[in-house]
Structure 1
C-alpha cells in the first residue's frame, strides 16, 4: 500500500509539472499592469563607476542581454551620447548607496527591445541634449517594459516616448518639467498601464495614449492638456479610475483635463476629481465626463478595479505625494513635489532646467 501511495504521489507531482503555468511571475513584488510580466535579466553585473563608458560603467552594463544590474556607486552619470539598452535587463537603481543614482544629458533608449525592468532610476535629459528629436526614455517598438519609482524630468522631445510599444507599465514615477516640446509621454499600440504617477507642468500628453489603456491613481498638476488621445488616435478603450487633476498657474483651461477624446473612444471613468480653482486647497469635484467618448458600464480590462484597491483620488494624491519617484527623494523631486503641494499657486511650464533655480544648472546635486 505504501508503495502504491508513493507511486501515486510521484505521478501527481509529475502531472503538476507538466501542466501549463496559468500565473507567470511578476517582474517584482507589487508590480502591476501590462508590463508586470517583464522577465528582466538574471546574470549579476555591478556598475562600479560614474564614468560615461568603459569597464564597470552603466553603458557597459546595459550592452549585453540577460543582466541584472546593481550599483555600488551613487551620483550622476553624465552621458556624452545616448545609451541603448539590450533586451532582458533589470536595472536596480534602488541598490545604489544614498543619495541614489541618475543619468543626465542624453537619451536612454530601449527601442525595439523586450523584457526590461527599470526601478529607482533618475533620467534627466535637459539642455545638455544636443538632439531635439530625442526623449528622456525611449521605448518605441519595445515590448514587456516596466518603469517603477523612476524620476523623469527635463525631457526634450517627449519625456517618455513609446510609439509602437506593447505591454507597458509606468508606475509610481515622477514625469515632470519637460522642456523642448514640453510633453509628458506618448504611447501607441499598447496595451499600457499608467499607475500612481505624478505628472507636473507639461503642456500636453499626460499621457497621449493611442492604445487600450489603464490610467489609475495618477495625479496631474499644472497641465495645459491632461489625459489625451487626439481625435486621429484610432479606436481604443480606456479605464480612467480615481485620478486627481489639479489646475496650476499654467493651466489655461481646467476643463482640458481630458483632451481631444472623441466618440471613437470607449471610456470607463469613475472616481476622478478635478481641482480647478487654484486656491491652495485640495477641494476637487467629480470629473468623469471624458470628451464625447462612448461610456462603458464596466472596465474594459479585468484587472483595473483590483489595481485600484481601496485608494480614492484623494487617497491617491496623498500616496503619490509621499511615494512617487526614485528613492531617496533628491533636490529635483523635492522641488517638483513642493510645487504640487502649493495646490494651484505655484508652478511653471519651462524651457530650460536652469530656470528652476536648483543647483548644478538646474539638474540638482546627487
Structure 2
C-alpha cells in the first residue's frame, strides 16, 4: 500500500511540475507517462501480475513488488502513456533479459531505473534491446542498456526523446550504441562503453551534453546523409581504449550538411591509465556555429568534461548498481588499459553467462 501511495504521489508531483518527473531534462521531458497504479508481483514472463501484463494497457504507472530478472521468451510491446518505476523494486532492483522491449509507434513513455539486457540468448538478430521507432515523447533515465544485438537503442522516426543518466554499453551483433532519426533528441550525462559505432548515430537536431564515451571505434556519428541537422555538443569526454583504432573518430562522418556548436569537449587518446586529455572541438567538415542552436543547451551543460567523468561514473545507470554495471564502471576507470568490443555477453566474464545476478 505504501508503494502505491508513493507512486500516486510521484505522479501528482510530476503533473504539477509539467515535467516527466522532477529533474527531467531535454526534449523527452514533456512525456506524461501513466497515472493508474499497477504493481508487478511476478517475475514470470507472462500472466497476471507480470511485467508483460503491466505494460499491455495504456495509462498505467507501474511499480514493482519483486526484484530480479524477468527472462523474456518473446519481445514485449509497451502501450502508450506508461510510466515504469524500476526504482520501486525491492532488493537489488529489476530488469529484463533475452528479448527486445518495444515502444514502437507509441507516445508518452517514462522509464526509470530499469535494466534492459538483450544478449545473444535472443534468437532474432534483427531486434534491438530497446526499440522506439516512430514513437514520440519518450524519456529513459537512469537505465542500463547492455548487450543490444541490432542496436542498443533504435529510434528511427522518433520525436521528442531524452536519454539521460544511463549506461549504453557492450553492444553485440552490430556492436552499435544508438540510432536516432527525426528528433529532436537530448543525450545527457550518459556513459557509452565498448561500442563499435553509433554513440549515437543521430540524424536529428540534437543536444549531446556531458556524456562520457569510452573504448570506441567511432563515437558521435552523423553518417553520410542528406539531412540538414543542428547539433549542440557540449562538455563531453571521449576516452580511447584498447579497441580504439583512431581516437580522432570521436566525431565521425560529420559532413557539410551539419551545423555544429562544439564547446568544452575533451579527448583522452593516449590510453595510459590517467585522465589527461585535451580540448577536442574540431567537427570535420560541418558548419561551425558560434552559439548553440538550442537556447537551453548551455544551461544544461553545468559540468566540465572532467567533472562529468566523475559525476557520471558515480551516478549513472539503474540503482542499485549491480554486477554488470559495476563491471562496466571498472573498465572505464582503467582509462585506456581495459575494455573490448565483444560479440557475446559472456565474453565480459561477468557471472550468469554475462548477465550477472539481481
Q: If the TM-score is normalised by the length of the shorter chain, which range does it land in?
A: over 0.9
Distance in 2 separating the partners of 1:336 and 1:298: 34
What displacement does 1:290 show? 0.7
Segments of 5+ residues of structure 2 without an aligned counterpart are: 1-15
Report what 1:317 is aligned to. 309
Distance in 1 separating the partners of 2:91 and 2:242: 34
**Contact 1:171/1:194 (CA < 8 Å) preserved in 2?**
yes
Alignment of 1:85 onto 2:78: yes
Alignment of 1:134 onto 2:127: yes
Segments of 5+ residues of structure 1 without an aligned counterpart are: 1-22
Report what 2:356 is aligned to. 364
Report what 1:271 is aligned to. 264
Alignment of 1:301 onto 2:294: yes
Report what 2:168 is aligned to. 175
Distance in 2 separating the partners of 1:308 and 1:211: 19
| CA displacement 1:321-342 (0-9 Å, x = unmatched) | 0000000000000000000000
- The structure 1 residue matched to 2:191, chosen from 189, 192, 198, is 198
Distance in 2 separating the partners of 1:201 and 1:33: 25
Instruction: Tell me which structure has the larger Cα radius of gyration.
Output: 1
Report what 1:351 is aligned to. 343
Distance in 1 separating the partners of 2:226 and 2:143: 27
Aligned length: 343
Distance in 2 separating the partners of 1:194 and 1:153: 17
Distance in 2 separating the partners of 1:68 and 1:59: 14
- The structure 2 residue matched to 1:332, chosen from 308, 324, 328, is 324
**Contact 1:24/1:37 (CA < 8 Å) preserved in 2?**
no
Report what 2:12 is aligned to. none
What displacement does 1:221 show? 0.1
Distance in 2 separating the partners of 1:137 and 1:336: 19
TM score, norm. by length of structure 2: 0.95
Distance in 2 separating the partners of 1:322 and 1:24: 27
What displacement does 1:28 show? 0.4
Matched ranges for 1:203-218 at <5 A = 203-218=196-211
Distance in 1 separating the partners of 2:125 and 2:17: 39
RMSD, matched Cα: 0.8
Distance 1:62 1:308, change over 3 A: same
**Contact 1:210/1:233 (CA < 8 Å) preserved in 2?**
no
TM score, norm. by length of structure 1: 0.93
Which aligned segments of 4 or more residues in structure 1 are displaced greater than 6 angstroms?
A: none
> Secondary structure, in 3 states, of the residue corresponding to 1:130?
coil
Matched ranges for 1:118-129 at <5 A = 118-129=111-122
